[in-house]
Amino acid sequence: MSAGSLLEVNDLRVSFRVGGLSARLAGRATEIEAVSGVSFSLDRGSTFALVGESGSGKTTLARALNGLQPAVAGSIRFDGQELRGLSNAGMKPVRQRMPMMFQDPVGSLSPRLSVRSLLTEPFAIHGLSNRDLDTEVRRLLALVGLPRDFAERYPHQLSGGQARRVGVARAIALDPVLVIADEPTAGLDVSVQGEVLNLLNDLRDRMGLSMLIITHNLHVVRQIADRMAVMYLGRFVEQGETEAIFTKPRHPYTAALLSANPEPDPDKVHQRISLPADVPSLLARPKGCEFHTRCPQAQPRCSTEAPLPVVVGDSRLTCHFPLNT
């Protein structure tokens, strides 16, 4: 484990059981592997983005890191400690240093708790109630740019942006080392997204915070992440430095994703890489390279042989015929 590495994930696998006894007797698949062998490392003080569409497994991966979803194989090393297999009690001190923010800004706040209660809950959970909680609440609200009287408000009285900021305040309450943010800009208006991203960047600079951002919004990734990984059907197809990937995507899926963003310019002629129809079901994974059923440059080899990860420059990718090399 290298010096700057805060989080190291190796060949992580997470499966779900679907269908019961009857399915098993009928010979149908009863397990889906939402995360199939993911490996990456996150350095201290940096921001790593997990990009993927629905069904790619990115949310499951994030939950597995926090222990909300048990991983069936692989390893998760956080600051030198192995997390996989830890009990709830064992995870508790880890969760103090590695909090998580969820997608729905208002929905992730307990509806009957005031903002003050929401912000002091982390202290209560980790036995730190002897601190001056009033001061802490004031400090946290100030850090995220919310006025003091918001402490008495309830979640339904907050706008999306305000609720998101309360979520951020709650996440940084106990001076964490790594924050996992699941779709931090989801449900927010464009004019408010900037506020949240600026806030997260500020906190990273001020507190030396490391961040793992899960998102399907590529524009956000470019503005906030140093490194990124693109997920498809539970696997990383490409990972590396954000700028490098944006300027020279090497995996066809990455290229398609990047070209899929409608641009706010009506005159722009689109060289869009269209992907045929839908993502295959996890119950019926394609053979060979799993992307070959939708890949615009699939070759015969792609449907029979699964590509192994290769390192090209600073990126890692799994493709038999990478682009831009």
Partner 1 sequence: MTVLDVRNLSVDFQTEGGRLEALKQVSFTVPANRSVGVVGESGCGKSTLINAVLGLLADNGEITSGEIVFEGGKDLARLDADSMRALRGQRIATVFQDPMGALNPVLSVGRQMRDIQYRSGLSKRDKDARSVAMLRKVRIPDPESRLAQFPHEFSGGMKQRIAIAMALMMEPALLIADEPTTALDATLEVATIELLKDLQRDIGCSVLFISHHLGVIAELCDEMIVMYAGEVVESGTTREIFHDARHPYTQRLLACDPARLSHRVPRLPTIAGTLPDLRHRPPGCVFQPRCDRADTQCLTVPPRASLGGSHSARCWHAEVPLAEVTA
Partner 2 sequence: MLRGILREPLGALGLTLVAVVVLSAIFAGVLTSYAPSKISPTERFASPSLLHLLGTDHLGRDLFTRVLYGGRIALMIALGATLASLVVGVVLGLIAGYGPRWLDNIMLLVFDAVKSFPTVMLALTLVTLFGPSLYAVVLVVMLVNVPGYARIIRTQTLVLKSAEHVMAARSMGASATRILGIHILPNIIGPILILVSMDVPVVVAIEAGMSFLGLGVRPPTPSWGAILNDGFANIRDSYWIVIAGGLPIVLTTLGFTFLGETLRDLFDPRLKRRS
Q: Where along the sequence are the contacts to partner 1 (CB under 8 A)? A: 53-54, 159-160, 189-195, 197-198, 201, 216, 218-220, 222-223, 242-243, 256-257, 260-268, 270, 272, 274-275, 277-279
Question: Which of these, 179, 169, 203, 204, lies nearest to 96 by C-alpha position?
Answer: 179
Minimum CB–partner distance for residue 41 and partner 2 (Å): 22
Q: Is 1 in the site for partner 2 (CB under 8 A)?
A: no
Bridge partners of residue 230, in order along the sequence: 51, 238
Nearer to partner 1, 104 or 121 (CB): 104
Minimum CB–partner distance for residue 155 and partner 2 (Å): 8
Instruction: List CB contacts of 277: < 8 A, sequence separation 6 or more.
Output: 294
CA angle 38, 40, 46 (to 5 degrees): 140
Minimum CB–partner distance for residue 112 and partner 2 (Å): 5
Q: Is 68 in the site for partner 2 (CB under 8 A)?
A: yes
Q: How far, in Å, CA of 114 to CA of 133, rounded? A: 14
Choose among partner 1, partner 2, none what residue 261 binds, the Cβ cut-off being 5 to 8 Å by kind: partner 1
Minimum CB–partner distance for residue 95 and partner 1 (Å): 30
Binders in 95-154 for partner 2, by CB under 8 A: 95-96, 99-100, 102-104, 107-113, 121-122, 125-126
Minimum CB–partner distance for residue 66 and partner 2 (Å): 5
Cβ burial 218-247 (10 Å sphere, 16+ → b, else e): bebbeebbbbbbbbbbbbbbbbbebeebee
Q: Where are the alpha helices (DSSP H) in 128-284?
A: 133-143, 160-171, 190-207, 218-224, 242-247, 252-259
At residue 40, what are phi and psi to the nearest 5 degrees? Answer: -165, 170
Nearer to partner 2, 144 or 257 (CB): 144
Q: Is 30 in the site for partner 2 (CB under 8 A)?
A: no
Q: How far, in Å, CA of 225 to CA of 163, rounded? A: 23
Residues found near partner 2 in the complex (CB under 8 A)? 63, 66, 68, 88, 91-92, 95-96, 99-100, 102-104, 107-113, 121-122, 125-126, 167, 170
